[in-house]
Amino acid sequence: MEVVTPNWGRTLKMKIWTVGSEKTFIRVLEPKKESGMGTLRVGSEMWNYFPRIDKVMKIPPSMMMSSWMGSDFNNDDLVKEFTFLHDYSFRLVQPEGSVPGITYLEARPKEAVPVVWSRIVAAVREQDLIPVWEKYYDDKNALIRTIIFSDVRKMGGRMLPAQLELVPAKQPGHKTILRYKVIDFDQVVDQKIMTLRNLQTWQ
Amino acid sequence: MLKIAFRNVFRQKRRSLLTALAMLGGFVLASFSIAWGDGTYSDVIRSFTHNRMGDIQIHAKGYLDHPSLYKTIRDYQRIGAVAAAQPHVEHWTPRVYAGGLASVGPRTTATRIIGIDLDREIATTGFSGKVISGTVFSSEGIKQAILGKDLAGLLSAGVGGQVAVVSQAADGSVANDLYTIVGLTSTGDVNSDRTDFYLPLKEAQDFLALGNQVHEIAVTVDSTAHAGETASRIAATLADPNLSIEPWQEFAQDFYHAMKADLQGMWIMLFIIILIVAVGVLNTVLMSVLERQREYGVLRALGTRPWEIFRMVIYEADFLALGSVALGSVIALVLNYAFSIHGVTLGEPYSYGGVNFDRFRTELNLRSFLIPAATVMVSALTVAVFPALRAAWTDPARAMRIH
Amino acid sequence: MLLLILAWRNLFRNKRRTFIAGAAIGLGLASLIFTDGLILGMEQTMVRNLTASFLGQGQIHAAGFRQTTAVEKTIHGLKEVVGRLERDPRVSHFAVRALSQGMLSSAADYRPVEVIGVEPDRERLVSQLDDMIVKGRFFTDRNPRDVVVGADLAKDLAVSIGDRVVLTVAQSQTGTLAQDLFFVSGVYRFNSRDLDSGMALILLPKAQDLLALGQNAHEIVLDFRNPDLAGDSKNAFWREYSQGGDEALGWPELMPQVELAFRYSELSLYVLGFILFGVVAFGIINTLFMSIYERIFEFGVLRAIGTRALRVAGMIVLEAAALAVVSIAIGMVFGFLATALFSRVGIDYRGIEMMGVTIRNLIYPVFRVRQFWFYPAWVIVFTVVTSVYPAAYAARIRPAEAMRKTL
């Protein structure tokens, strides 16, 4: 993950395990200062681990919206169980500047789903349904953030964009780029990984 | 005429004395009230500014409106030296601020990290007086922190315990470390006590990857009245468009407005006091002039011209007023001075806005003499005019028949 | 008796002097009455501003809640307490609230807030929030997804009526994070940074649900039929409701700095009184001496015919007392008029912010009984005391000397 801000830029290397949309485990490998830091998310609870002081901290609500590791993603993004499939309703649209060969979908959250986005527009390649970009809008139809997908290649047996770039619309000079190096799907993830004990285990 | 008037004053010793006494008393009381009002006003402000905020604060431009870890002052030692070199400046101290999470065991809560230069902080705001438990930072090798007492309470931690703190450093990395709690503070402000997390300045700068930067420099001056001009002078000397130098009237606007309202209330009261003094003087002067109607009648009968009578009356009032003001000034000077040194000590200290008051003092200043002087002189003269006119132009025969 | 009549008549022999002296003292008394009324009016207005805006005249919490604000510390026996309050004749209104820290986020930004679950019908009667609504409404639709925020918060989050926001809180007991979707239904403006930027109000049942509180709540806000009860910490009410693990407190305990500010202004009143009496003293002495000089021949005669010194002195003292009575009459009339006038018209302190609340109303001086017996009584006492000096002088007049003085 590369984070760019007007004040600094950093790149982190990490390993991530997920089980469905219920559990997520992240271990930071590089740089040295953060090496060994971890985040565990089970359901709607989340913990961070700091190896330097050997401390596990449960994330209180006040920290939920703060950025994860300084990036433009926040803790809430990691915790969100909402998938496009279950919690949004879709329709096809034709926005301005639409390009041939791309299908555009507008997703609106279903009633009572606690997300701040009023709607999300996704651009998908018609031929292979690979996402190109996603745009997030608020109630007043202002663009709040854009995610750009690129570097499509075969990973873990599937064709996927290996790079995600998140650009906040209202914060010039900020962006976060995720580059997937290796992905394995449909693995059986050892349940012991999704535990606090594992979070604290680091040499 | 002047000489006659002068001698008249001394002839009617008792009457003059009483009139003078009334003026004198009024003068001293009014003078004391003004000195008292000004003194307590200054005291309250001073206590407020010297408690934590300082009389003047220096920040990077825009910091106060939108605080940010990145809006920093880069060479604070030089700026501090510039401030210290200005007249009226007493002390200055640098500070670093950051938001973070503090955690002890399973308890985690939001906290405000404050990096302080201990020696300067003690000199500027009496920091050691706020540490109610434990000690201040020592030069021992361990990593030390001082917490607000309510923050420690929320975390169920105490002196000697360990607390973990996490924040985002200025280079984007995750700052995290463990500290030993060496002291607890109580400032009287619940919000502060619930979030304050003090670290030695260097430690805070390292923790937050700030190098030699700070967010704030607080400066104290000898008297709150000098805050504004000193701030301007510092700004002019530094001549840096990226810095913002503000006196307390600007960075503590709410407090300033409240004080102004208080001050207005005080002026209303002073006005009433002055009114009473004026009326008191009016009373005595009027009566002494009226009482002597017969005397003036006689003088007129003897051929004294009306204008001369008029002048005589006015001069007498003048002399009395002047004498009273002169003597009153001496007495008031002694009184105000004594109270400006010792003041009135209350049995139980008041705690107002996080500050303890147990002493109220007067302030020795020019206007506590000028205003009462003006009041006494003006009222004495105004009230003497009408009866003087009357005395001067009443038919002598009638005047002599009064009483 | 004779003395009294003599004293009274002596006083009016020189009507002008009596009147002037009486006016001077009376004016002093009038200003004391007026200032007392003004300070009282100011206190009452400020307390009213403070308590009526949101704080209430009194509050009940579980003991220890105020120190830690832990979500678990709910009021013990809420149902019983509510029942008692409903039947309690001393209480005019009350409202139940749930309180918690939380995070409110919009698409644009997020802010920490104090989440307050309210009962709109009761809340309306106890706080002024519903009057301060500038956009939208105060829960008139009873939609559980309604949230009402302050104007500063709405600005920070860049939201207006109908916009969606997500509230995140930590549930009671478990600390599990709970999130829910809300739509901004009302925006209020108090002109206080704290109130306008830090609170998010939702319906009480929704809050209880979100926080997993069941039927519990954290705070009961109260108003009394007699507002003075709130300021009286010795009143039985506080003890009665501070039982079973709960604690009931009036606004002086909840906001001690306000109480202190009032003590300080009352101190100023005493200083004013002191000044006043100083001036009065000089006035009295002066007047009496004038009057004695004038009548020095008379006094000589009186003493010559055998009147005892004490009786002469007594007469002076009674004259002083009579003067005091006249002064008091004048003073009370003017004091009454001035206070009455301004209690209609009001004094403009509007726009000034004190203790975090902007004064929105005019300050009206207030009458109270003590202004019309306590202060006048002191005037009489003081007048009489200061008259001792001239009275002693009059008593020591030597008849022979006195009768020789003619002018």
Per-residue pLDDT tens digits for B11-28: 666 667 777 777 787 788
List CB contacts of A166: < 8 A, sequence separation 6 or more: A71, A72, A73, A145, A146, A147, A175, A176, A177, A178
Within-domain flag for B63: no
Within-domain flag for B292: yes
**Hey, which residues 272-301 in chain B have their CB within 8 Å of chain C?**
272-273, 275-277, 279-280, 282-284, 286-288, 290-291, 294-295
Strands annotated E in B142-173: 144-148, 162-168
Q: Could A53 and B164 be called an inter-chain contact, meaning their C-beta atoms sit closer than 8 Å?
A: yes
- Looking at the structure, do residues A36 and A121 belong to the same domain, yes or no? no
The pLDDT confidence band at residue B345, using thresholds 50, 70 and 90, is low
Per-residue pLDDT tens digits for A74-89: 777 766 655 667 788 9
- Looking at the structure, do residues B340 and B270 belong to the same domain, yes or no? yes
Taking contacts as CB-CB distances below 8 angstroms, the residues of chain A near C170 are 60-61
Within-domain flag for B238: no
Taking contacts as CB-CB distances below 8 angstroms, the residues of chain B near C362 are none
Within-domain flag for A192: no
Q: What percentage of chain B reaches a pLDDT higher than 70? A: 81
Distance of alpha carbon B99 from alpha carbon C119, whole angstroms: 34
Q: Looking at B79-93, B190-204, C263-277, which range is the least confident one?
A: C263-277
| B172: nearest Cα among C305, A34, A173 | A34
Taking contacts as CB-CB distances below 8 angstroms, the residues of chain C near B266 are 268
List CB contacts of C277: < 8 A, sequence separation 6 or more: C378, C382
Q: For residue C399, is the peptide bond before it cis, meaning its omega torsion is within 30 degrees of 0?
A: no
Q: Could A116 and C179 be called an inter-chain contact, meaning their C-beta atoms sit closer than 8 Å?
A: no
Q: What percentage of chain B reaches a pLDDT higher than 90? A: 26
Within-domain flag for A86: yes
Please indicate if any CB of chain B lies within 8 Å of the CB of C16: yes
Residue C25: burial class (beta carbons within 10 Å; 0-12, 13-18, 19+): buried
The pLDDT confidence band at residue A111, using thresholds 50, 70 and 90, is confident
- Looking at the structure, do residues A2 and A62 belong to the same domain, yes or no? yes
Residue B399: predicted pLDDT: 62
Within-domain flag for B236: no
- Looking at the structure, do residues A90 and A180 belong to the same domain, yes or no? yes
The pLDDT confidence band at residue C60, using thresholds 50, 70 and 90, is very high
Residue B354: predicted pLDDT: 47
**Hey, which residues 33-72 in chain B have their CB within 8 Å of chain A?**
70
Per-residue pLDDT tens digits for C358-378: 556 667 777 777 778 888 888
Do you know the residue count of chain B?
Answer: 403
Please indicate if any CB of chain B lies within 8 Å of the CB of C270: no
> For A116, which of C101, C164, C170 is closest by C-beta distance?
C164
Do you know the residue count of chain A?
Answer: 203
The CA dihedral of B376, B379, B384, B387, to the nearest 10 degrees, is -150
The CA dihedral of B250, B254, B256, B260, to the nearest 10 degrees, is 140
| C13: nearest Cα among C225, C207, C379, C290 | C290
Per-residue pLDDT tens digits for C221-267: 998 888 788 878 788 888 888 888 899 988 888 877 667 667 766 77
Domain ends where: A81, A108, A140? A81
Mean pLDDT of chain C: 82
Q: Strands C146-150 and C199-203: what pairing?
A: antiparallel
Residue B352: is its pLDDT beyond 70? no
Of B40 and B155, more confident: B155
* CATH number (domain holding residue A126): 2.50.20.10
The pLDDT confidence band at residue B348, using thresholds 50, 70 and 90, is low
Within-domain flag for A134: yes
Distance of alpha carbon C384 from alpha carbon C381, whole angstroms: 5
Q: Could B171 and A52 be called an inter-chain contact, meaning their C-beta atoms sit closer than 8 Å?
A: no
How close A7 comes to chain C (CA, Å)? Answer: 20
Please state the pTM of the whole predicted model: 0.74
Q: Looking at A165-174, B133-142, C314-323, C340-349, which range is the least confident one?
A: C340-349
Helix and strand numbers, DSSP H then E, in chain C? 16, 12
Q: What is the DSSP string of B316-369?
A: HHHHHHHHHHHHHHHHHHHHHHHHHHT-EEEEEEEEETTEEEEEE-----THHH
Q: What is the DSSP string of B205-250?
A: HHHTT-TT-BSEEEEEESSGGGHHHHHHHHHHHH--TTEEEEEHHH
Any idea what DSSP says for residue C74?
Answer: P
Please indicate if any CB of chain B lies within 8 Å of the CB of C174: no
Domain ends where: B214, B239, B267? B214
The alpha-carbon radius of gyration of chain A (Å, integer) is 18
Any idea what DSSP says for residue C363?
Answer: B
Q: What is the DSSP string of chain A?
A: -EEE-SS-EEE-EEEEEEETTTEEEEEEEESTTTTT-EEEEETTEEEEEETTTTEEEEPPHHHHTSBSTTSSSBHHHHH----HHHHEEEEEE--TT--TTEEEEEEEEPTT---S-SEEEEEEETTT--EEEEEEE-TT--EEEEEEEEEEEEETTEEEEEEEEEEETTSTT-EEEEE------S----GGGGSHHHHH---
Domain ends where: B214, B245, B277? B214
Distance of alpha carbon B199 from alpha carbon B95, whole angstroms: 10
Question: How many folded domains does chain A comprise?
Answer: 2
Mean per-residue pLDDT for C344-358? 59
> For C279, which of B269, B280, B295 is closest by C-beta distance?
B280
Mean per-residue pLDDT for C311-334? 86
Q: Could A9 and B168 be called an inter-chain contact, meaning their C-beta atoms sit closer than 8 Å?
A: no
Q: Looking at A49-63, B32-46, C164-178, C314-328, which range is the least confident one?
A: B32-46
Mean pLDDT of chain A: 86
How close C332 comes to chain B (CA, Å)? Answer: 16
Domain ends where: A81, A104, A119? A81
- Looking at the structure, do residues B261 and B355 belong to the same domain, yes or no? yes
Q: Looking at B12-16, B81-85, B153-157, C60-64, which range is the least confident one?
A: B12-16
Do you know the residue count of chain C?
Answer: 407
Please indicate if any CB of chain A lies within 8 Å of the CB of C163: yes
- Looking at the structure, do residues B299 and B336 belong to the same domain, yes or no? yes
Instruction: Nearest chain C residue to A118 by CA: give it.
Output: C164
- Looking at the structure, do residues B396 and B283 belong to the same domain, yes or no? yes
| B109: nearest Cα among C371, A63, C378 | A63
Q: Could C163 and A140 be called an inter-chain contact, meaning their C-beta atoms sit closer than 8 Å?
A: yes
The pLDDT confidence band at residue B269, using thresholds 50, 70 and 90, is low
Residue A187: predicted pLDDT: 83
| B368: nearest Cα among B27, B34, B25, B7 | B34
Domain with B127 in it? 68-214
Distance of alpha carbon C33 from alpha carbon C25, whole angstroms: 12
The pLDDT confidence band at residue B355, using thresholds 50, 70 and 90, is low
Residue C407: predicted pLDDT: 47
Which of A188-197, B170-179, B318-327 has maximum average pLDDT?
B170-179
Distance of alpha carbon B16 from alpha carbon B10, whole angstroms: 7
Contact yes or no for C376/C332 (Cβ under 8 A) = yes
Q: Which residues pair with C180 in a beta bridge?
A: C167
Q: Which helix (H) or strand (E) holds C169?
A: strand C164-170
Domain ends where: B160, B183, B214? B214
Residue A83: predicted pLDDT: 67
- Looking at the structure, do residues B207 and B78 belong to the same domain, yes or no? yes
Residue A170: is its pLDDT beyond 80? yes
Helix, strand, or coil (residue B140):
coil
Residue A148: is its pLDDT beyond 70? yes
Q: Looking at B57-66, B95-104, B276-285, C328-337, which range is the least confident one?
A: B276-285
Any idea what DSSP says for residue B49?
Answer: I
Residue whose structure tokens are 């920070």: C156
A 10 A CB-CB count for B142 gives 9
Mean pLDDT of chain B: 81
Residue A186: predicted pLDDT: 85
Half-sphere exposure of B19 (CA within 13 A, CB side): 32
Q: Which amino acid is at C372?
A: F
- Looking at the structure, do residues A90 and A147 belong to the same domain, yes or no? yes
Residue B353: predicted pLDDT: 47
Residue A24: is its pLDDT beyond 60? yes
Residue B262: predicted pLDDT: 67
Domain with A53 in it? 1-81
How close A136 comes to chain C (CA, Å)? Answer: 9
Chain centre distance of CA C47:
6
The structural domains of chain C, with segments of one domain joined by +, span 2-50+259-404, 58-226
Please indicate if any CB of chain A lies within 8 Å of the CB of C180: yes
Sign of the CA dihedral with B325 first, then B328, B334, and B335 last: negative
Residue whose structure tokens are 């806000």: C221
A 10 A CB-CB count for B153 gives 16
Half-sphere exposure of B338 (CA within 13 A, CB side): 7
Instruction: For residue B319, give Cα distances in angstroms to B6, B8, B280, C83.
Output: 7, 10, 17, 76
Mean per-residue pLDDT for B66-94? 91
Q: Could C279 and B277 be called an inter-chain contact, meaning their C-beta atoms sit closer than 8 Å?
A: yes
* Preferred mutation among B71, B176, B210 to probe A, highest tally of A CBs within 10 A: B176
Chain centre distance of CA C211:
38
Write b or e for each residue in B102-114: b if 16 or more Cβ atoms lie within 10 A of its Cβ, otherwise e. Answer: bbbeebbbbbbbb
**Subunits with 3+ C-beta pairs closer than 8 A to A:** B, C
Contact yes or no for C163/C113 (Cβ under 8 A) = no
Per-residue pLDDT tens digits for B237-250: 988 889 999 998 88
Contact yes or no for A68/A78 (Cβ under 8 A) = yes
Instruction: For residue B41, give Cα distances in angstroms to B225, B263, B266.
Output: 11, 7, 9
Residue whose structure tokens are 């984070």: A3
Question: How many folded domains does chain B comprise?
Answer: 2
**Subunits with 3+ C-beta pairs closer than 8 A to C:** A, B
Instruction: For residue A80, give Cα distances in angstroms to A42, A100, A138, A141.
Output: 11, 33, 18, 22
Within-domain flag for B220: no
Of C179 and B290, more confident: C179
Q: Strands B216-221 and B89-104: what pairing?
A: antiparallel
Contact yes or no for B350/B356 (Cβ under 8 A) = yes
Per-residue pLDDT tens digits for C258-275: 676 677 667 767 777 777
- Looking at the structure, do residues B76 and B41 belong to the same domain, yes or no? no
